[in-house]
Amino acid sequence: MLLSERGAAAHTVEGYRRDIEQFRISQNSRGSDLAAADAEAIRIYLSELATRGLAPRTAARRLSALRQFYRFLQAEGLRADDPSATIEGPRLGRPLPKILSEEQVAQLLAAARDGVALASGNRRAANAARLLALVELLYATGLRVSELVELPFENVIEGRQCLLVRGKGGKERIVPVGAPAAAALAEYLPFRDVHIGKAGHSKWLFPSRGGHLTRHRFAQILKKLAISAGLPADKVSPHVLRHAFASHLLAHGADLRAVQKMLGHADISTTQIYTHILDGRLKAVVRDHHPLADGGRRNGAAS
């Protein structure tokens, strides 16, 4: 159903399968089964997760998977009720996204360009050009990492000035590409065949053996790039660059609705989280630089 009716990505389906499987294992350990679970069984399971120290957000995700599963069973007539309907999920705070400063992104891009300049040999040159194109595109477009690595070559349109992106739920959007990212992409394309290998053809913009570059592999090479740029590897990821794209645009006066469309957010409230980052920065500026921000300065000003 997730695949055929909702157009969910394969990794989304795998996430649902994994979460539901964990509950099935819990049920089996009690001599019960997945389909027959009642509300009390779900409450006990959530209590166990809390006891084990599982993060509230992870527990909420597992509960969400169970809700979808039991609603499906009820809709298909396989159950008369939905045992998850009365379950309250764990209370969640809404954490602000982790981002990089504009200076840190500049460091990352500079390290990627140095990699291109210093690369020797066809394979290393191809890898360096690909990495620069990936980072430039991610920061220039704010794509989800899955959208980027799964981008078909034919979806690079209008002379590399735009990308046709298929996002969540199969919804398509056109995302503009800035000049530096378009230049990095043009520099990478002659090396694309190196990554296709013996197959001789690939529909993917970023091919790899047997398919396209994986999210996991991209995250690995991005962390290596972060280290070479003098940045903490644990603070750099493809998703952090997506956050940086959105927050930096808004900081420079971009329209919230335009950023929402480029990010592919269905609800503008999801995009508004980035305005909270800006609010936090403004408060920090006042706290650190306003002459009346602390008692000492106030006393000094009064005297």
List pLDDT tens digits, range 24-34: 999 998 888 89
127 and 257 inside one domain: yes
Does position 89 have pLDDT exceeding 90, yes or no? no
| Inter-residue contact 97 to 243 (CB < 8 Å) | yes
Catalytic residue among 43, 166, 168, 224: 168
The answer to whether residue 14 sits within a structural domain is: yes
Q: Choose the weakest-confidence range: 49-63, 110-124, 212-226.
A: 49-63
The answer to whether residue 172 sits within a structural domain is: yes
SS (H, E, C) the chain: CCCCCCCCCHHHHHHHHHHHHHHHHHHHHCCCCCCCCCHHHHHHHHHHHHHCCCCHHHHHHHHHHHHHHHHHHHHCCCCCCCCCCCCCCCCCCCCCCCCCCHHHHHHHHHHHHHHHHHCCCHHHHHHHHHHHHHHHHHHHHCCCHHHHHCCEHHHEECCCCEEEEECHHHCEEEEECCHHHHHHHHHHHHHHHHHHHHHCCCCECCEECCEECCHHHHHHHHHHHHHHCCCCHHHCCHHHHHHHHHHHHHHCCCCHHHHHHHHCCCCHHHHCHHHHHHHHHHHHHHHHHCCCCCHHHHHHHHC
Name the range with the highest mean pLDDT among 198-207, 209-218, 260-269. 209-218
242 as an active site residue: the answer is yes
**Band of residue 71 on the pLDDT scale cut at 50, 70, 90:** very high
43 as an active site residue: the answer is no
**Band of residue 301 on the pLDDT scale cut at 50, 70, 90:** very low
Catalytic residue among 45, 139, 188, 274: 274
Is residue 164 exposed (0-12), middle (13-18) or buried (19+ Cβ within 10 Å)?
Answer: middle
Catalytic residue among 212, 242, 243, 248: 242
Residue 256: give the domain boundaries: 102-271
38 and 120 inside one domain: no
Q: What total number of domains does the chain contain?
A: 2
Q: What is the pLDDT of residues 94-132, one digit of tens each?
A: 555 677 889 999 999 999 999 999 998 899 999 999 999
Give residue 66's pLDDT: 94
Q: Chain-wide mean pLDDT for the chain? A: 85
Does position 293 have pLDDT exceeding 70, yes or no? no
The answer to whether residue 250 sits within a structural domain is: yes
| Inter-residue contact 212 to 149 (CB < 8 Å) | yes
Q: Choose the weakest-confidence range: 101-105, 149-153, 285-289.
A: 285-289
144 as an active site residue: the answer is yes
**Band of residue 171 on the pLDDT scale cut at 50, 70, 90:** confident
Give residue 292's pLDDT: 55
207 and 256 inside one domain: yes
Does position 283 have pLDDT exceeding 80, yes or no? no
Does position 174 have pLDDT exceeding 60, yes or no? yes
Catalytic residue among 70, 130, 139, 144: 144
Give residue 97's pLDDT: 60
Question: Hey, what are 249's tokens?
Answer: 């645009």
End of a domain among 35, 58, 75?
A: 75
239 as an active site residue: the answer is yes
Range 70-73 contact pairs with CB under 8 angstroms and sequence separation of 24 or more: 70/37, 72/1, 73/35
Does position 250 have pLDDT exceeding 90, yes or no? no
263 and 119 inside one domain: yes
Partners of 152 in beta bridges = 204
55 and 135 inside one domain: no
**Band of residue 1 on the pLDDT scale cut at 50, 70, 90:** confident
Percent of the chain with pLDDT over 90: 47
Closest CA to 101 of 248, 233, 232, 229: 248
